[in-house]
Amino acid sequence: MKMRPGTQTGFLLCGKEWIEGESLEVRSPWDQGLVGRVTVATRADARQAVNHAVASLRRTRALPRWKRREILEDVAAALIEQKERFAQLIVAEAGKPVRLARAEVDRAVFTFKTAAEEAARLGGENIPLDLTEGNEGRWGVMQRFPVGPVLAITPFNFPLNLVAHKVAPAMAAGCPFILKPALQTPFTALALGEVILKAGWPNEALAVLPLSNADTAWLAEKEDRVKVVSFTGSAKVGWELKAHSGRKRVLLELGGNAALIVHGDWPDLDEAALRTARAAFGNAGQNCVSVQRVFVERKVFQTFLWKVVEHTAKLGVGNPSDEATEVGPLVRPGEVDRVEAWIKEAVEGGAKLVAGGERRGSVITPAILTGTKPGMKVRDEEVFGPVMTIESYEDFEQALADVNHSKYGLQAGLLTRDAGRMITAYRELEVGALIVGDTPSWRLDSMPFGGVKDSGIGREGIRSAINEMTEQRLLVMAGIS
């Protein structure tokens, strides 16, 4: 498969690369240079992919656990061997700073290794059924089986690891899958598909299809032979898919505007400020758990604010290919326009721009705002850009209420040494996970991950995703002594 920048690449279907058809130009978020052209799959191609997936289910379901584990381990080994190739693809099409791109490859390796371990552990339980007179010699076994073809719809911001979070558990579970990558970042997904096929996954059980939004919606909503839709992206699109997907299992990992509470008893404000700056502005804030809202106890507010400003000023900003860069471009020029407009709206509404917010081509320098109010987009919506608001609070209960004043609920962070406040926050905060002692951006790829409210439904994390992609069946045996 040709994966060199500037070349034409086809989609993957039944182990083959299909070049013919309408092509789409993929351009660098950094300088709009041509990365390459990819063939866009059609609705007919999608239907054919489903045909193959359905036909392959008996084979993938029958793959022994050792074989699933071996394939997943071989994928991880190939990613290690091709780390720089994948990192450069991510830089080229996603505009992610190269150091962060390499870290993403490392995370994907861990994701596939974890899936290999879970494939080996995927089992069941014995159910005692000789519990009443007359049922002697009766016993039961409960096992998990793959539900069927999985449609994985992935975003641009983690074009390798978020793909891994969908396809690795599908493979561990024995499910065929159809992968629809973001049209901004198809090449990383296609390269991964190639690696998976070389590792021994059945050809007909994998398709990587760059599809239009309309054809993707048709596949998710109308093709009943697809049994699971796993979507990561915007809340608006995700909930629309769920509303029209009938009886399919729909897993949604959607947006957030992650909040961090900093209480005055935290011992190292300087380290906390450094972590906060990196968690807010790494990859230009294009992360669903990027720190967006910070609430700081008033007695340490000024100290913390200016420490964050100081550390933010030291972040490398600019070309994602530069080893020193931490804050690169936004993915599209339209996103630069939007984020710039949201900052302006907040300032015109009375907020103070403490630092950053300057437009430099495809980059917006890290913006720190204070004096924001509910109703401002930078406070209420997911910015998905290099913008952070920092506000003070007097009362801890009010800080919790401020965090909950959001339609999103993915992750939150809490910095305090007080166990009572930790337990109160865990009980009261409406989020999928509370990270105590760190920012809400912290994530280990094996842990359950997902949100509440508009942030989604279901959980990623390998074991959780496998459970979502499998169903339990009970076998009852009678008359056996």
Q: What residues act catalytically?
A: 253, 288
Rounded alpha-carbon distances, angstroms, from residue 344 to 103, 277, 388 = 33, 21, 14
Sign of CA dihedral 14, 20, 23, 27: positive
Residue 109 near residue 192 (C-beta atoms within 8 A): no
Going by DSSP bridges, is the β-strand pair 139-146/470-477 parallel, antiparallel, or unpaired?
A: antiparallel
Cα–Cα dist 337/315, whole Å: 22
Rounded alpha-carbon distances, angstroms, from residue 23 to 31, 40, 199 = 21, 6, 28
The total of other beta-carbon atoms located within 10 Å of residue 222's CB is: 12
Q: What is the distance between the terminal CA atoms of the chain, rounded to a whole angstrom?
A: 57
| DSSP for residue 41 | P
| Amino acid identity for residue 186 in this structure | P
Residue 366 near residue 281 (C-beta atoms within 8 A): yes
| Amino acid identity for residue 222 in this structure | K
Q: State the chain's maximal CA–CA distance in angstroms.
A: 80
Going by DSSP bridges, is the β-strand pair 23-27/411-415 parallel, antiparallel, or unpaired?
A: unpaired
Cα–Cα dist 253/256, whole Å: 10
Cα–Cα dist 267/77, whole Å: 41
Helix (H) or strand (E) holding 420: helix 419-428
| DSSP for residue 141 | E
